[in-house]
Amino acid sequence: MQVAIVLYPGFTSMDVIGPYEVLGRLPDTEVVFVAEKPSLVLNDLKSLSINVDATLDDVPEPDVVLIGGGPGQTGQMADGKLHEWLRAVDRTAAWTTAACTGSLILAGAGLLTGRRATTHWHALEQLAELGSKPVKERVVIDGHYATAAGVSAGIDMALTLAGKIAGDEEAQTVQLIIEYAPEPPYDAGSPSTAPTAVVERTMRKLSSRFPS
Amino acid sequence: MQVAIVLYPGFTSMDVIGPYEVLGRLPDTEVVFVAEKPSLVLNDLKSLSINVDATLDDVPEPDVVLIGGGPGQTGQMADGKLHEWLRAVDRTAAWTTAACTGSLILAGAGLLTGRRATTHWHALEQLAELGSKPVKERVVIDGHYATAAGVSAGIDMALTLAGKIAGDEEAQTVQLIIEYAPEPPYDAGSPSTAPTAVVERTMRKLSSRFPS
């Protein structure tokens, strides 16, 4: 199985590393990070750069394609090379997937039109504006499209996919290897559980990240 | 605040990216990835390489130091440059931290002697052999040392630290930004909850990773 993970400047690292750590541990699986040009791709926090050797053209038929989100997503919404590639690989991929605001890119490329999908809680309306049917769930599967809510939700999406791809026992083995038995010290991971002051504060912070 | 994250060949990416995504979002925080030599550092799955410009010497007094684990940990147990640096920065750091088998490196450097600490569930005995007091908890804090259980536990550790460093509201804001309201599709993240067949299978897989 070949998994292609798309990187672009301003990506959020956990959006892609979460699913990578899961899918990359499945048997007989090759993961290739791809970008429009071979380069060091700098993340949103501007302190992490990942070296990408493979271009989009180098990976024409991945079995799974994953795109993450992040502030850089806004730079990937114009039709062009990336959108063309996404539409092309989508025709043969077993799974076309996105975490966080990566869903907006898939939707922008026309792949989620009329489909149930999710994204970061702060971007759900934008997903609707792009023709998708936004769903407030952590992992949404519609046809061969899998989308995850914000950032850390990519881990849950990837474990769900791992089960569908390789069976429950393989998926559980990966979960045990990465000791994924989460114990967040706060219950503030969703706008429905976080204190109101925290939600308001976060919305102010994010409004510059996801301009509408 | 300056956070130094140590990379070495064969590191497990989520061990460091989980905490990075949390700590890197705290106000007025600079994160620097450091390695013994400036290089592209290749991970355990051999498909991700992170570019590291800063050497250990470039970062002599970080406020927080973090080291992750992974199969490459076994190559970092000999006394030498890395252990000397860890002992040196530990004298002035507010927090000396490790995720997964990164704790074994801290213990190997003599920093966890007699201290309560944790590590990946499969490596707890090794932590005891290195003079630490292993604890089967997800996040363990003893003095200014914070250690996390396997791989994904680094996220919980970093949120716990974020609260201590910047207050509950900042930590909760980060949790909401990364939408960390986990919903694992299986309850197999701990050897106490995973099916027996999965635990046995995983132990066989890991026995080559953590040779004792």
Question: What strand order describes the sheet that includes A139-142?
Answer: A54-55, A30-35, A2-6, A64-67, A95-99, A145-148, A139-142
pLDDT in tens, chain B (212 residues): 999 999 999 999 999 999 999 999 999 999 999 999 999 999 999 999 999 999 999 999 999 999 999 999 999 999 999 999 999 999 999 999 999 999 999 999 999 999 999 999 999 999 999 999 999 999 999 999 999 999 999 999 999 999 999 999 999 999 999 999 999 999 999 999 999 999 999 999 998 655 44
Chain A closest CA to B132's CA: distance in Å? 21
Both tokens of B123, joined, read 């490596």
Distance from CA of A80 to the nearest CA of B (A): 26
| Cross-chain residue pair B155–A182, CB shorter than 8 Å | yes
Identify all chain B residues contacting A51, using CB atoms and an 8 Å cutoff: 40, 49-51
pLDDT (0 to 100) of residue B208: 67
Question: Which residue, among B85, B96, B102, has the nearest Cα to B13 in the 3D structure?
Answer: B102
SS3 B133: strand
Beta-bridge mates of residue B117 = B134
Q: Of residues B26, B35, B100, B141, which has the active-site annotation? A: B100
pLDDT at residue number A212: 41
Q: Which of B151, B179, B187 comes nearest A178 by C-beta?
A: B151
User: How far apart, in whole angstroms, are the C-alpha atoms of residue A46 and residue A175?
Assistant: 30
Q: b vs e for B73-93, b when ≥16 Cβ sit within 10 Å of the residue's Cβ?
A: beebbeeeebbebbeebbeeb
* Rounded mean pLDDT, A35-44: 96
Query: What is the model's pLDDT at position B2?
Result: 98
CB spacing of A181 vs B193 below 8 angstroms: yes
Q: Which positions of A are annotated as active-site residues?
A: 100
> What confidence score (pLDDT) does residue B207 get?
84
Choose the mutation target among B30, B43, B175, B196 for the interface with A, i.e. most A CBs under 10 Å: B175
Q: CB–CB of B149 and A179 under 8 A?
A: yes
Taking a C-beta distance cutoff of 8 angstroms, is the pair A113, A62 a contact? no
Provide the residue ranges of all domains of chain A, joining segments of one domain with +: 2-181, 182-212
Q: A40: which chain B residues are within 8 Å (Cβ-Cβ)? A: 51
Neighboring chain A residues of B17 at a CB cutoff of 8 Å? 13-14, 17, 48
Give chain A's mean pLDDT: 96
SS3 content of chain B, % helix, strand, coil (to 5): 40, 20, 40
Q: What are phi and psi of B43, to 5 degrees?
A: -85, -175
Segment A136-173, tens digit of pLDDT: 999 999 999 999 999 999 999 999 999 999 999 999 99
Kindly state the DSSP code that residue B43 receives in the 8-state scheme. B
Report CA dihedral (A71, A74, A80, A86) to the nearest 10 degrees: 60
pLDDT of residue A106: 98
Q: Which residue of A has its CA nearest to B119?
A: A179
Main-chain dihedrals φ then ψ at residue A20, nearest 5 degrees: -60, -45
Which residues does residue B133 pair with via DSSP β-bridges, in sequence order?
B116
Helix (H) / strand (E) containing A135: none
- Taking CB atoms and an 8 Å limit, are A14 and B17 in contact across chains? yes
Cβ separation A188–B175 shorter than 8 A? yes
What is the pLDDT at residue A196? 97
**Which of A139, A178, A202, A205 has the highest number of chain B CBs within 10 A, making it the mutation to test binding with B?**
A178
Contact B172 A195 (CB under 8 A): yes
Q: Measure the CA–CA gap between A103 and B205, rounded to whole angstroms.
A: 34
Taking residue A201's Cβ as centre, other Cβ atoms within 10 Å add up to 17
Contact A159 B197 (CB under 8 A): no
**Taking a C-beta distance cutoff of 8 angstroms, is the pair B183, B144 a contact?**
no
Is B191 in Cβ contact with A168 (below 8 Å)?
Answer: no
What is the spatial distance between Cα B9 and Cα B41, in angstroms, rounded to a whole number?
A: 6
Across the interface, of A30, A159, A193, the residue whose CB is closest to B185 is: A159
Q: Quick: pLDDT tens for A95-131.
A: 999 999 999 999 999 999 999 999 999 999 999 999 9
Q: Is B98 helix (H, G, I), strand (E, B) or coil?
A: strand
Interface test with B, best of A39, A141, A183 (most B CBs within 10 A): A183
- Rounded CA separation A171/A180 (Å): 11
Reported as a pLDDT band with limits 50, 70 and 90, residue A211 is very low
Position A148 scores a pLDDT of 98
Give me the sheet containing A39-42, strands edge to edge: A39-42, A49-52, B49-52, B39-42
Q: Which are the contacts of B55, defined by CB distance < 8 A and separation ≥ 6? A: B34, B35, B36, B37, B38
Say yes or no for a CB contact (<8 Å) between B205 and A169: no
Question: End-to-end CA distance of chain B, in Å?
Answer: 37
Which residues of chain A neighbour B71 with C-beta distances below 8 Å? none
Quote the CA–CA distance of B8 and B82 in Å, as a whole number.
10
Q: Are B64 and B70 in contact (CB under 8 A)?
A: no
CB pairs under 8 A between A and B: 220
Q: How many residues does chain B have?
A: 212
Query: Is B100 one of the annotated active-site residues of the chain?
Result: yes
Per DSSP, which regions of B43-171 are E strands? 49-52, 54-55, 64-67, 95-99, 116-117, 133-134, 139-142, 145-148
Fold of A2-181: Rossmann fold (3.40.50)
Which residues, including other chains, have CB under 8 Å from residue B210's CB and lie 6 or more apart?
B71, B74, B101, B120, B122, B123, B126
